[in-house]
Structure 1
């Protein structure tokens, strides 16, 4: 320990000495420029040694305060240059003030000349050391380094190239850039030329001419169709393609270590979500927030996103102890300063639910708990009703009784013109919340959206499993289409919707364009390195009970209005008459308690007249393992 401490002291002393020598050289250079003949006139000839001593003290104090004696010169960059200019200026100002106060006269031009010379000499030394370090690293190229082409010559591409060039024994040799911006073509980025546009013809030509063995996609904001085109071109050329993460996936910066395989999320990529941070902070910061279904994929991500806004207490509620255990452990590791409490509870257990609400008094409730799998709920309609309808009612009533400010429920596009039990139960839950909002100070907010990529039980994990087994990949129908969002995008917009709600409303998220499931399946097969219908077959197995080809977000007679957020719309959805709703709910509860599937379907059809539910016998027909069509909630 003593030896290390002693070495550090010696190193720091050497750095200060080097700086003192450079400042002395800058001072004498400024003197020589001021007195061209070399003879320094009076009274400056007598006072300049005192001025130099004063300058060295001022510079040393300023540089120590600015941390410029502590940096590693091999990593000097623009931030350090700006700090160097700022600190040198502060030292010069102090020198001028103290020299004037001490009566040490010096020519005014000397102050400016010395300031400029100091910046050039001190900054030049630092950048010369960095240049020598990078050149030494650049000579460590691995003999089998892959010829690499970077698509995108913007900030992401330049940062990626810099990281590659700094690798101690790099296995990638960047031979050029391609970029869509015509103004960049022919330009040099860190001595690597932009060879042309990122179009198919140029990509093919450069891959052949430069013998490219790897393509790196450094275009984090490019949309999904463009990414898909690039991936398909590279697959035809038999050149692997990798990507760097999008802005929403990285906190500050990325490095070589973050380069990954192109994923299906990249092919469906949409513009990053922009949150109104102040609004969401106003909803969550310092408050007690409860998330139901916290152990699920959507609920878990809602917890992660919520903790970004520093709630006073986050309550994780779920009936699955395993899911709750894993999300609690993750959150405590990622947010060690956060207050997190796991609560094991079935939302249909009113006694337990009311006790928890009385104890913790949550101010914001985000309701993500639900049964969501369409075919499974067709065969278990009483449980769908108990959980999705009366579980929601129980949580909503507990929120009202405890004085919660905001209640946000995650709904689904399957609640529109429902053809399934799951969709119909979510629509009835929406209706129940609208009714409760009329007599409560709690804002009851519903957010509708479509499928979420890679959520538990969704189609993407199933396709991955089927591809890993060698196929076939099963799709219900060639024209089956679904809306998709990523989990972070959906959850961020849920929080934003809760923040902008003025009263009890049903919000509809902008889901973009629907995606054909068969196209999704074929893209995933290609990303796995196989050829669809050659290496791995795609089989069509027919629609299952409760499924429909196209999902909708609003009924034909429902209108919507825009909100301040471009991806959130508010539906103009009329509430159901209270008497009719209560009568239907009473019959529905009795039917569910009696496990009477036929009665459940009858009461759901009465409550949701636009629904077209399958008859009871159709729901019990067994079916092979198909691609599921779960809702996001």
Structure 2
């Protein structure tokens, strides 16, 4: 049919509809009147038939029904077709009844209905023939297609079956459905039968020689996905998952979006709905500065901000290679000769102030930090210099330059901090809160957990160990962590910047914690190298068995966004960190003690009389 020119295909459809009217007319006159009409009745009936067919054709072209507006046999086409038949029959039926007293009124009632049924039958036959023809010609069932079972006979499963049935050179051949709803035991989904429930998965996979199982559920929980994955491993088949709704084009499943079960699917996160209009309100048309722009989080924040059309976007980092890669990604060039890329270390307040004086940003997104917990346990002074004093430098410069909105990217390790990383980030949260309250500015912090795919993340480490042949090192079989994907985390960081109140720490909902052991086992399984061993090394200094998002004494409050919680932290004056300690140990003891500070029992309004704290010089940590 595809080899027939478009003109003739549309002409054929038009011809069939005209023929349907004629058959309906002749059939009704035969059955009802046995062609025994008087001459004036014949004239009225024929005139009505000619008029209604002519009106149908004209309306069909005016509504573009015969110009390819909708797919043949689709719901949209049926709606337009029904509307044309109904409108023409009602109008012309009334005209004939009023102006042709001898007109057989029964024709105006039964002829359109019969014609519409014939038109629909023709389209149904065409769709059926087309599907059968595709199967005969191997369009669906070609030799390279893999046998698959589809788990889930709901809307998503039906969409997968429809795509497989109609796709050219589909990679899959559906051999049956699985669904836990026993009322669907006799259901056929686009011609494919529901064969059993989850308990039958292993047996059916072997019986049907299935290569994979497609999990057609967009909201499956991580424990459920993990259980199905284990059954697939037992049956020796792959688990294929559909993307979450937010990743689908128009909310619909696409065959090329189906992918193997991955570590991300263990998160089981709810779809994130970000209010882009709310975000764009404080970023679009504004001058935005991103610190730490070369890092995984900073780079993704820069990409998302760039899409929101700021008037200028400045990218600051001390890693020139990272800036080069980000500029290539955003602009397609990596010359590093434009003002948007800034090479600067946030530890250098003088250089940083020059940057702020030149850029004059409206919004600062502060992602620059040292983040590797074991390294900061070994070199805690570095964490103090970058995460505490460096953040204070950025805050001071931002306030002096008139920045009205500031977002400090923090970590879940700042809650009940026991590590040097957590303690340093906790102090950065408290300093941010001080500036917000002291100067009534929209300065907030955003706290979230581990980010999948970021540089130095556990996933990267595990993959490197697997490529090397193992072993994969896990600190403890019970250790759990909160995880997010990079885009999710950055979307919520930007959203938090829009809804946060001065001094807030906004905690992102990370879903359920995930066992690190599960991540390691899944990555080994995906690699196909089942000989890789897992070695337990024990928790390192400063590590927790289970991270928390809120400290013991912290009380979260609902925000405007369902996945963001507001938390208050005690403010920390710069005066309390701007001193010259006698030794590095003194600075680190300060970091430890101040990180453990709690909110006072009653609110304390910051005193603005002593502004010298904001103008002092920084200590040198020896």
CA 175–21 in structure 1, closer or farther in 2 if over 3 Å, else same: closer
Q: CA deviation at 1:263?
A: 0.7
* Conserved 8 A contact 1:217-1:241: yes
* Conserved 8 A contact 1:223-1:271: no
Q: CA deviation at 1:511?
A: 2.7
For 2:209, the equivalent position in structure 1 comes to 211
**1:551 counterpart = 2:547:** yes
Q: CA deviation at 1:389?
A: 2.7
CA 83–397 in structure 1, closer or farther in 2 if over 3 Å, else same: farther
Q: What SS class does the counterpart of residue 61 from structure 2 fall into?
A: helix
Which stretch has the larger CA shift, 361-370 or 146-155?
361-370
Q: What SS class does the counterpart of residue 194 from structure 1 fall into?
A: strand
Which stretch has the larger CA shift, 66-75 or 407-416?
66-75
The 2-side partners of 1:368 and 1:91 are apart by 65
CA 128–350 in structure 1, closer or farther in 2 if over 3 Å, else same: farther
CA 604–145 in structure 1, closer or farther in 2 if over 3 Å, else same: closer
Q: Spell out, residue by residue over 1:316-348, the C-alpha distance to the aligned partner (whole angstroms, 9 max, x if none).
A: 513244434444444568xxxxxx994324262
For 2:7, the equivalent position in structure 1 comes to 12
* Conserved 8 A contact 2:437-2:502: no
**1:344 counterpart = 2:342:** yes
CA 25–186 in structure 1, closer or farther in 2 if over 3 Å, else same: closer
CA 598–574 in structure 1, closer or farther in 2 if over 3 Å, else same: closer
* Counterparts of residues 115-130 of structure 1 (less than 5 Å): 115-130=112-127
The 1-side partners of 2:55 and 2:351 are apart by 69
Q: What SS class does the counterpart of residue 176 from structure 2 fall into?
A: strand
Which stretch has the larger CA shift, 214-223 or 116-125?
116-125
Q: CA deviation at 1:254?
A: 2.8
Which stretch has the larger CA shift, 60-69 or 418-427?
60-69
Q: CA deviation at 1:437?
A: 0.7
CA 586–53 in structure 1, closer or farther in 2 if over 3 Å, else same: farther
Q: Spell out, residue by residue over 1:4-27, the C-alpha distance to the aligned partner (whole angstroms, 9 max, x if none).
A: xxx99x743662464155235416
* Conserved 8 A contact 1:294-1:368: yes
For 1:163, the equivalent position in structure 2 comes to 163
The 2-side partners of 1:75 and 1:288 are apart by 51
* Counterparts of residues 95-244 of structure 1 (less than 5 Å): 110=107, 113=110, 115-139=112-136, 140=138, 141-143=141-143, 145-170=145-170, 172-198=172-198, 201-244=199-242
For 1:417, the equivalent position in structure 2 comes to 416
* Conserved 8 A contact 1:399-1:442: no
* Conserved 8 A contact 1:59-1:92: no
* Conserved 8 A contact 2:370-2:387: yes
* Conserved 8 A contact 1:405-1:441: no
* Conserved 8 A contact 2:436-2:444: no
Decide which of 21, 25, 46 is 1:26's aligned counterpart: 21
Q: Spell out, residue by residue over 1:100-133, the C-alpha distance to the aligned partner (whole angstroms, 9 max, x if none).
A: 8997887766555455445434443333222212
Q: CA deviation at 1:156?
A: 1.8
CA 432–121 in structure 1, closer or farther in 2 if over 3 Å, else same: same
**1:504 counterpart = 2:503:** yes
For 1:4, the equivalent position in structure 2 comes to none
For 1:626, the equivalent position in structure 2 comes to none
The 2-side partners of 1:220 and 1:192 are apart by 20
CA 346–82 in structure 1, closer or farther in 2 if over 3 Å, else same: farther
CA 277–39 in structure 1, closer or farther in 2 if over 3 Å, else same: farther
Q: Spell out, residue by residue over 1:448-468, the C-alpha distance to the aligned partner (whole angstroms, 9 max, x if none).
A: 111111211100111011112
For 2:56, the equivalent position in structure 1 comes to 59
* Conserved 8 A contact 1:288-1:363: yes
CA 285–107 in structure 1, closer or farther in 2 if over 3 Å, else same: farther
The 2-side partners of 1:442 and 1:583 are apart by 20
The 2-side partners of 1:110 and 1:316 are apart by 75
Q: Spell out, residue by residue over 1:524-549, the C-alpha distance to the aligned partner (whole angstroms, 9 max, x if none).
A: 22333344xxx111122344444333
| Higher normalized contact order (CA 8 Å, seq sep 6+, divided by chain length) | 1
Unaligned runs of 5+ in 2: 333-337, 599-622
Decide which of 547, 556, 559 is 1:560's aligned counterpart: 556
CA 179–343 in structure 1, closer or farther in 2 if over 3 Å, else same: same
Q: Spell out, residue by residue over 1:442-486, the C-alpha distance to the aligned partner (whole angstroms, 9 max, x if none).
A: 311111111111211100111011112210111233443322222
Unaligned runs of 5+ in 1: 1-6, 334-339, 612-633
For 1:264, the equivalent position in structure 2 comes to 263
For 2:610, the equivalent position in structure 1 comes to none
The 1-side partners of 2:162 and 2:75 are apart by 14
* Counterparts of residues 527-606 of structure 1 (less than 5 Å): 527-531=526-530, 535-576=531-572, 578=573, 581-587=574-580, 597-606=584-593
CA 235–354 in structure 1, closer or farther in 2 if over 3 Å, else same: same
Q: CA deviation at 1:431?
A: 1.2
The 2-side partners of 1:16 and 1:341 are apart by 61
Q: What SS class does the counterpart of residue 439 from structure 1 fall into?
A: helix
* Conserved 8 A contact 1:50-1:104: no
* Counterparts of residues 282-361 of structure 1 (less than 5 Å): 282-284=281-283, 287-306=286-305, 310-313=308-311, 315-319=313-317, 320-331=319-330, 342-346=340-344, 348=346
Which stretch has the larger CA shift, 380-389 or 26-35?
26-35
Decide which of 594, 603, 615 is 1:607's aligned counterpart: 594
The 2-side partners of 1:83 and 1:301 are apart by 45
Q: CA deviation at 1:223?
A: 1.2
The 1-side partners of 2:91 and 2:579 are apart by 82
The 2-side partners of 1:175 and 1:390 are apart by 62
Q: CA deviation at 1:378?
A: 3.7
Aligned residues: 582
The 2-side partners of 1:358 and 1:56 are apart by 76
**1:250 counterpart = 2:248:** yes
CA 74–507 in structure 1, closer or farther in 2 if over 3 Å, else same: closer
Which stretch has the larger CA shift, 463-472 or 476-485?
476-485
